Amino acid sequence: DVKVTQSSRYLVKRTGEKVFLECVQDMDHENMFWYRQDPGLGLRLIYFSYDVKMKEKGDIPEGYSVSREKKERFSLILESASTNQTSMYLCASRLGGGNIQYFGAGTRLSVL
Amino acid sequence: KQEVTQIPAALSVPEGENLVLNCSFTDSAIYNLQWFRQDPGKGLTSLLLIQSSQREQTSGRLNASLDKSSGRSTLYIAASQPGDSATYLCAVDSWGKLQFGAGTQVVVTP
């Protein structure tokens, strides 16, 4: 079974903190994605990566950055957390274009 | 820009009834369409993927159809069970990225 593992289920951070959300997949997938999910707004793509050291902006990249130094790991970084970044964050991966996308369990981040 | 719509937003049915969930999209230039299930507070689980060249895909009690020319997909769940209660999302793969609908929240009552 494909496994996409997000490092934390719940996180509470203070405004202005630097926050790292980690995602690891065990299936040698090329593509990895970060989404946020908010009530009434649905799933929105923040950043994605087609391969190691590659990254592309999604629909809402402002306030976020990403890192993909190894194929299996894709990190989302909030440089200076703000309250409007309180959300559910979902990581996903897939083998390549046109293939099933697998999701992690999600990280619920609260920024106080 | 691709827009994906799911109607209805919520649905409640008694156990045993068949479920019909609708998904429509505005741009027919798609690679595939995926249906996902999401339980409260959890991630998404892939149910079915239909390639753009296919008309339907089946897995157990689930059947999904795709009419690319009219921009529509339908997910049928036969003989619903309380365990089918969840939010169902469709997502269209356009230009290498998934565009999601807002989902249909389903409640199956015993």
> By percentage, how much of chain A surpasses pLDDT 70?
98
Q: What is the mean pLDDT of chain B?
A: 94
Distance from CA of B36 to the nearest CA of A (A): 10
Residue A80 in contact with residue A73, Cβ under 8 Å?
no
Give me the mean pLDDT over the A98-107 stretch.
93
Q: pLDDT at position B95, please? A: 77
CB-nearest partner of A42 from B34, B46, B102: B102
Each residue's pLDDT tens digit, B52-89: 999 999 999 999 999 999 999 999 999 999 999 999 99
Q: Best interface-test mutation with A: which of B38, B97, B104, B105 has the largest number of A CBs within 10 A?
A: B97
Written in H, E and C, the secondary structure of chain B is CCCEEEECCEEEEECCCCEEEEEEECCCCCCEEEEEEECCCCCEEEEEEEECCCCEEEECCEEEEEECCCCEEEEEECCCCHHHCEEEEEEEEECCEEEECCCEEEEEEC
Match 């089946």 to its residue by tokens. Answer: B58
CB-nearest partner of A105 from B43, B49, B97: B43
Considering only CB atoms, which chain A residues are within 8 Å of B6?
A: none
Q: pLDDT at position A96, please? A: 85
Q: pLDDT at position B5, please? A: 96
Q: In the structure, what pLDDT confidence band is assigned to residue A97 with cuts at 50, 70 and 90?
A: confident
Q: pLDDT at position B96, please? A: 78
CB-nearest partner of A105 from B42, B98, B101: B42
A40 pLDDT more than 90 = no
Give me the mean pLDDT over the A101-109 stretch.
96
Residue A106: closest C-alpha in chain B: B43
Query: B46 vs A101: CB contact, 8 Å cut-off?
Result: yes
Query: B98 vs A97: CB contact, 8 Å cut-off?
Result: no
Query: A97 vs B96: CB contact, 8 Å cut-off?
Result: yes
Q: In the structure, what pLDDT confidence band is assigned to residue B33 with cuts at 50, 70 and 90?
A: very high
Q: Does the N-terminal peptide bond of residue B110 adopt cis geometry, omega within 30 degrees of 0? A: no
Give me the mean pLDDT over the A24-46 stretch.
94
Q: Best interface-test mutation with B: which of A3, A54, A100 has the largest number of B CBs within 10 A?
A: A100
Residue A7 in contact with residue A107, Cβ under 8 Å?
yes
CB-nearest partner of B43 from A45, A99, A103: A103
Considering only CB atoms, which chain A residues are within 8 Å of B49?
A: 99-100
B48 pLDDT more than 90 = yes
Query: A97 vs B42: CB contact, 8 Å cut-off?
Result: no
